Amino acid sequence: MHKKLFIPGPIEIAPEILNAMATPMIGHRMPEYAHLHKGVTDKLKKLMFTEERVFLATSSAFGVMEGAVRNLVGKRCANFCNGAFSDKWHNVTLACGKEADAFKAEWGEPITPEMVDAALATGKYDSMTLIHNETSTGVMSPLPEIAEVLRKYPEVLSIVDTVSSMSALKIPVADLGIDCCIFGVQKAFALPPGLAVFSASERALERAKTVPGRGYYFDFLEFAAADEKDNTPSTPCISLIYAMDLQLDRIFAEGMEQRWQRHADMAQFMRNWAQEHGFGLLAAPPYRSVTLTCATNDRGVNLAQMKKQLGERGFAFDDGYGKLKGKTFRVAHMGDMQLSDLKEITAEMEQILQADKD
């Protein structure tokens, strides 16, 4: 039995997207591929509000997250950490042999502009990493305010992960001045995993020229050179790029504003439901994610049991990430999901909670 995915990634994929992936294969050095590639990257630029280069990498998000660090950290990197993915990014930065410091907020707290200002004011850093939407905790850090602070530090390249937020709300990459914006596609984009997208500003590409040890697979300069021919350095996941092409058309057909509103509505519904049913919310109001809700287990439900019972009913449910397992649960509301999907899973949860009480 297929379990309908309510976990924060991978998420449910529309049947027409799966069909698009069955499109007959083409060679990546054939003109047909260049045409597909240019169409997709142009649409991505529109979605990301940038005229800068946008590249397609065949990997999960962490491939490019590692690649960005290898390409863009010259002197020392400030890694801002407030959950599992951002903590890991710091370890990845160190594993790449880079000098780096972690600036940590508690899990459930955002990264604040003040934290970023204090760290960068030391003058020690030429690069920083930030996760916009910490999927492990359902916390969305205030990107516009942080971007404002970054303007004071033109020597610092900003590397921002929008894996679980891009397309769910407006993220104007160029206006924000993000030098490298990265996302994978199995979360907010509702595509099967295996493709990552990233933008690179001119100054990011200039920096890469001065940084040794970029490797090959994620060398930004290789991507830039291939991009001149609407291509990728090595063979891309063409089937997924077909899927991305269709998904972008579907996003524009829905309308970006409508898509943002749908996410805001779903988030509001899920937060209300949690609070009306005896649960709390891990994040403070301004920092609650629009793509997933992380509820605190205030009523002391056996979440492992809930996960099992929902599984038997055909729903994949998340009972907390890492050290938050059992203490929180997360419900995704991203990609193609609709309010009706949330009503479906919450109705099941209500039945299970009621049966528990009886």
**Where does this chain touch ligand PLP (CB under 6 A) — which range of 161-169, 249-257, 264-272, 280-288?**
161-169
* Cβ nearer to ligand PLP, comparing 87 with 348: 87
Structure tokens at 215: 């490797």
Alpha helices by DSSP H, listed for the chain, are 15-20, 31-48, 61-72, 84-95, 113-120, 143-150, 173-176, 202-210, 220-227, 238-254, 256-276, 303-312, 339-357
User: First CA to last CA across the chain, in angstroms?
Assistant: 28
**Where does this chain touch ligand PLP (CB under 6 A) — which range of 68-76, 160-168, 275-283, 295-303?**
160-168
In the bound complex, what is the minimum distance in angstroms from residue 298's beta carbon to ligand PLP? 25
In the bound complex, what is the minimum distance in angstroms from residue 226's beta carbon to ligand PLP? 22
* Among positions 10, 74, 113, 184, the unique one binding ligand PLP when judged by CB under 6 A: 184
In the bound complex, what is the minimum distance in angstroms from residue 61's beta carbon to ligand PLP? 3
* Among positions 37, 53, 70, 187, the unique one binding ligand PLP when judged by CB under 6 A: 187
* Binding of ligand PLP by 232 (CB under 6 A): no
Spatial separation of the C-alpha atoms in residues 215 and 57, rounded to whole Å: 14
**Where does this chain touch ligand PLP (CB under 6 A) — which range of 43-51, 139-147, 157-165, 270-278?**
157-165
* Binding of ligand PLP by 320 (CB under 6 A): no
Specify the pairing of strand 53-57 against strand 196-200.
Answer: antiparallel
Cα–Cα nearest to 69, from 107, 95, 31: 95
Spatial separation of the C-alpha atoms in residues 194 and 186, rounded to whole Å: 8
* Binding of ligand PLP by 307 (CB under 6 A): no
What is the dihedral sign for C-alpha 8, 13, 17, 18? positive
| Contacting residues for 273 by C-beta, under 8 A, at least 6 apart | 342, 346
Beta bridge partners of 315: 4
In the bound complex, what is the minimum distance in angstroms from residue 202's beta carbon to ligand PLP? 25
* Among positions 6, 9, 226, 332, the unique one binding ligand PLP when judged by CB under 6 A: 9
| Interaction pattern, residues 103-132, with ligand PLP; x per rule: CB under 6 A | ----------------------------x-
* Binding of ligand PLP by 153 (CB under 6 A): no
* Binding of ligand PLP by 217 (CB under 6 A): no
* Cβ nearer to ligand PLP, comparing 333 with 348: 333
Residues 85-104 that bind ligand PLP (CB under 6 A): 85
Spatial separation of the C-alpha atoms in residues 270 and 290, rounded to whole Å: 10
Residues in contact with ligand PLP, total (CB under 6 A)? 13
* Cβ nearer to ligand PLP, comparing 163 with 180: 163
* Cβ nearer to ligand PLP, comparing 78 with 191: 191
Cβ atoms of residues 89 and 161 within 8 Å: yes
Residues 42-81 that bind ligand PLP (CB under 6 A): 60-62
Peptide bond into 142 cis (omega under 30): no
| Interaction pattern, residues 162-181, with ligand PLP; x per rule: CB under 6 A | -xx-----------------
**Which backbone phi and psi does 88 adopt, to 5 degrees?**
-65, -35
Tell me how far the alpha carbon of residue 265 is from its chain's centroid. Answer: 19
* Cβ nearer to ligand PLP, comparing 10 with 74: 10
Amino acid at 140: M
* Cβ nearer to ligand PLP, comparing 180 with 301: 180
Cβ atoms of residues 324 and 83 within 8 Å: no
Structure tokens at 242: 């077909």
Instruction: Using CB under 6 A, list all residues that contact ligand PLP.
Output: 9, 60-62, 85, 131, 133, 135, 161, 163-164, 184, 187
